[in-house]
């Protein structure tokens, strides 16, 4: 069978790495990179480190307003699909690249297969929530990571083609954790980024809801400045621009460039706790048995909240400090996300679709 897979942003490279490897054992895959993320350390580094096959098409779309970015992608992806005539199109997650890919395929009546279907924050102001809902409603196979995702789809009347295949990011973490340790050490990372200590909190911030208002970033950083250990903050380029403008005199926060996937795994394994607004990192923290404080009002990954492994926190200086200092674990972790064989499960489901 011939599939077109569409990626564009960091979290999709991580997911495609696991599925591509499995899919290409028995099928033909044509990979499209929309170019939504284009900086070396937001894109190329993931392809080389995770040994993701070179994209057959790089659309070089780059940044833009949501409408313009999604619109240009839609037009360019349509051309590729018409040219390649695949049996199906695979899209990942909830970015603008996901929606553009799903829409282009669906309008050409090519079946859409959505990896990480069924997630909901129930906050429609998030661009990701809009992308997920729309993609799910035009997908033929809804490849869900959890039982909660299956239930979410049921509530919207979607039952056909819904499968819980486990979480593809679990495959990625299990596979690359070993490789990361073989090629990267904590000391190398500490030296490379001038971190200066091996006791640190790990944080990332990039969500539109937190980065659109610079006061929110300032509140978060002020809270970080009061902590008793340093906060290592690999910064997304957009957040970096905002932080630079604020001209804060940060002493406890170590701002560094976006790190590679291997570096992230090593930082995760060695940090005290994780403080983030990323969906993927919340889960990776859970997989690596680290407590997480999520700087958002909702999470799609509600399972991680059980036993206090993850805790939601508003953007309020006192609440942030209290959450970081006081989180107590109540329960052992449970196996909500499958066992790391999601890629082969997905390939099986893709094959069954055509029977």
Q: Cite the active site residues.
A: 206
- Note every long-range contact of 240-244, with CB atoms under 8 Å and residues 24 or more positions apart, other chains counting: 242/211, 242/214, 242/217, 243/217
End-to-end CA distance of the chain: 12
Minimum distance between the CB of residue 251 and ligand UD1, rounded to whole angstroms? 26
Backbone angles phi and psi of 288, in degrees to 5: -95, 10
Minimum distance between the CB of residue 185 and ligand UD1, rounded to whole angstroms? 26
Please, which residue, 181 or 238, has the CB nearer to ligand UD1? 238
Backbone angles phi and psi of 207, in degrees to 5: -60, 140
- Selection from 13, 3, 69 nearest residue 36 by Cα: 69
Residues of this chain that interact with ligand UD1 (CB under 6 A) are 9-11, 36-39, 42, 63, 94-96, 127-128, 206, 237-238
CA distances from 147 to 116, 128, 157, 181, 311 (A): 12, 20, 15, 32, 20
Please, which residue, 31 or 347, has the CB nearer to ligand UD1? 31
**For residues 266 and 140, what is the distance between their CA atoms, to the nearest angstrom?**
37
Minimum distance between the CB of residue 94 and ligand UD1, rounded to whole angstroms? 6
- Selection from 293, 320, 196, 32 nearest residue 285 by Cα: 293
Minimum distance between the CB of residue 43 and ligand UD1, rounded to whole angstroms? 6
């Amino acid at each position: 069978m011939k599939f077109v897979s569409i990626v564009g942003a960091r979290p999709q490279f991580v997911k495609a790495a696991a599925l591509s490897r499995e899919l290409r054992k028995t099928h033909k895959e044509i990979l499209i990179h929309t170019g939504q993320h284009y900086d070396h350390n937001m894109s190329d580094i993931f392809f080389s480190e995770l040994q993701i096959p070179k994209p057959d098409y790089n659309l070089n779309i780059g940044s833009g307003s949501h409408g313009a970015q999604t619109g240009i992608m839609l037009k360019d992806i349509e051309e590729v699909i018409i040219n390649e005539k695949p049996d199906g199109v695979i899209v990942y997650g909830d970015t603008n690249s996901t929606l553009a890919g799903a829409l282009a395929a669906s309008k050409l009546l090519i079946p859409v297969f959505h990896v990480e279907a069924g997630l909901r924050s129930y906050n429609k102001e998030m661009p990701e929530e809009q992308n997920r809902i729309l993609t799910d409603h035009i997908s033929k196979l809804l490849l869900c990571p959890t039982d909660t995702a299956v239930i979410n789809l049921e509530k919207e009347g979607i039952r056909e083609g819904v499968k819980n295949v486990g979480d593809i990011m679990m495959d990625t973490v299990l596979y690359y954790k070993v490789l990361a340790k073989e090629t990267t050490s904590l000391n190398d990372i500490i030296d490379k980024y001038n971190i200066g200590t091996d006791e640190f909190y790990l944080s990332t911030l990039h969500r539109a809801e937190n980065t659109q208002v610079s006061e929110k970033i300032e509140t978060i950083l002020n809270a970080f400045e009061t902590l008793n250990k340093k906060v290592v903050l690999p910064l997304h380029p957009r957040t970096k621009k905002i932080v630079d403008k604020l001209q804060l005199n940060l002493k406890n926060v170590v701002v560094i460039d976006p790190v590679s996937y291997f570096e992230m795994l090593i930082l995760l394994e060695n940090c005290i706790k994780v403080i983030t607004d990323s969906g993927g990192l919340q889960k990776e923290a859970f997989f690596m048995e680290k407590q997480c404080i999520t700087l958002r009002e909702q999470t799609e990954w509600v399972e991680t909240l059980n036993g206090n492994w993850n805790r939601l926190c508003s953007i309020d200086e006192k609440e942030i400090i209290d959450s970081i200092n006081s989180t107590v674990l109540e329960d052992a972790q449970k196996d909500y996300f499958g066992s790391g064989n999601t890629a082969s499960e997905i390939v099986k489901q893709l094959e069954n679709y055509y029977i």
